[in-house]
Amino acid sequence: MAFKLLPLPYATNALEPHISRRTMEFHHDKHHATYVDNLNRLSEGTPYAVMSLEEIVLQTAARPEEHAIHDNAAQAWNHTEFWNSMHPAGGKTGNDIDELLTEQYGSYARFRQEFVNAATGQFGSGWTWLVLDGSRLAVISTPNAGNPLTMGKLPLLVCDVWEHAYYLDYQNRRKVFVETFLDHLANWERVASRLRDAGVMAPVLGGVRAA
């Protein structure tokens, strides 16, 4: 059964003016689609063809001879995670999220600065993540197709810092793109849901803090 390119969880123009329809069409319909197509070609006739993306990522992470299938599976997974990390009404944290970030980082503002620093400090292509590492939150960056699943960490939120993710709209201003991602697009409701599923947060969220 072939892997399929999942549709975006919103319209291609839903994130405007922060991310343009043109960027979303290139990024999803061409870049993401290419990883899925490559994965289907590479996995055809192998045991990987019937595995989930997560299984492929984990099983091939320590196998250099499988780097091509690993990279394409990880990139397909990472991109889906990136789409779901954004929402047209994003950028607003709940009180419980604020409390967790304040407990760990001292304030939301300090968390924001650490995330921006990690994203702008990632040399070349890659991803910046908020993850659950055991019982604590952590901001990490991974190069190329790096994926926190291979480190035993639970991804909560991710920003794509490959240049094609932002160049049409922001040119070389990666910092502005990442700040816009956090301030206007970050899907904190999904983060809260994952933390509740992991037993880190209470079932009921508090109010909303404007970004």
**Cα 187 from chain centre:** 10
pLDDT above 90 for 211: no
pLDDT above 80 for 33: yes
User: Do residues 78 and 65 touch, judged by C-beta distance below 8 A?
Assistant: no
- Euclidean distance between CA atoms 93 and 7, whole angstroms: 26
Q: Please state the rounded mean pLDDT for residues 49-68.
A: 96
**Model pLDDT for residues 129-180, shown as the tens digit of each residue:** 999 999 899 999 999 999 999 999 999 999 999 999 999 999 999 999 999 9
pLDDT of amino acid 95 = 86
Query: Over the chain, what is the mean pLDDT?
Result: 93
Q: Please state the rounded mean pLDDT for residues 30-52.
A: 97
Question: What is the 3-class SS of 147-168, one letter each residue?
Answer: CHHHHCCEEEEEEECCHHHCHH
Structural domains present in the chain:
21-84 (1.10.287.990), 93-209 (3.55.40.20)
The DSSP element (H or E) to which 58 belongs, if any, is: helix 53-60
pLDDT of amino acid 204 = 38
pLDDT of amino acid 1 = 59
pLDDT of amino acid 201 = 65
CB atoms within 10 A of CB 53: 21
Q: What is the pTM of this model?
A: 0.93
The DSSP element (H or E) to which 127 belongs, if any, is: strand 126-133
